Amino acid sequence: MAKAKVVKMPTAAKRKAATAKKPKAKAMARTATPSGGRYIGKTSGLGIANFQNKTIAGNRREHLTDTVVARMWRDEFPKAKSYTEKDVASVRSAYNKGKHGNDAPSSPVKEYDRDGNPIVKEAKSSKTPKKVIKKKPAKKVMSKSAAKRKKQREEDDEEEDTNAMSASQSEEEDEEE
């Protein structure tokens, strides 16, 4: 058998390979820390959506009002939006539907009052009630012959009425005499 020929790398290529930067495993470092968007919480280290989901889910046992939850969000993310009770209600609605980066819970999370009692709201229709427009009935299209017959009937009825009136008047005159 023949010997395999060994090709040596030129010295210039060896220097470039030795000084080249090795890629760092940045993906590993990022997955180790909690993920989040633009803002990271001061105490939790979570992103906004994850922190909101955590507080909404934890509110089942804590029974906090929306005002308190909004204050928690403002304290955790002071540079983000100034959260209000409406924001909490909106996030809770999305959370209950499973549209806030979570799976839909088996039973919806409720809103609580100051005493910790759930607030039961009547279901509101998102649609505005339609105005009922009463349409005038369509005019009946009548043929000329039918119109003539109707006119003839009306004239006959008028003649009968006048004949009946004159007959009743003559009877009354007869009774008076």
In the block, residue with structure tokens 């280290």: 45
Q: Please report which confidence band the pLDDT of residue 7 belongs to, taking 50, 70 and 90 as the band edges.
A: confident
User: Residue 27: pLDDT above 70?
Assistant: no
User: Residue 1: pLDDT above 80?
Assistant: no
Residue 89 confidence (pLDDT): 92
Q: Tens digit of pLDDT for each residue in 102-149? A: 888 888 888 888 888 888 777 666 667 777 777 777 777 778 888 889
Residue 51 confidence (pLDDT): 92
DSSP designation for 44: T
Residue ranges per structural domain of the chain: 34-121, 143-177
The first and second tokens of residue 50, run together, are 């994850």
Per-residue buried b or exposed e for 55-86, using 16+ beta carbons within 10 Å of the residue's own CB: bbeebeeebbbbebbbebbeebbeeeeebeee
User: Residue 32: pLDDT above 60?
Assistant: no
In the block, residue with structure tokens 């043929």: 143
Residue 69 confidence (pLDDT): 94
Residue 105 confidence (pLDDT): 86
Cα–chain center distance at 36 = 25
- At residue 140, the 3 state secondary structure works out as coil
Q: Is pTM beyond 0.75 here?
A: no
Of 84, 74, 76, the closest CA to residue 47 belongs to: 76
Of 46, 52, 51, the closest CA to residue 33 belongs to: 46
- Identity of the residue numbered 63: H
Q: Tens digit of pLDDT for each residue in 59-106? A: 989 999 999 999 999 999 998 888 999 999 999 999 999 888 888 888
In the chain, % helix, strand, coil (3-state, to 5) comes to 50, 0, 50
Residue 70 confidence (pLDDT): 95
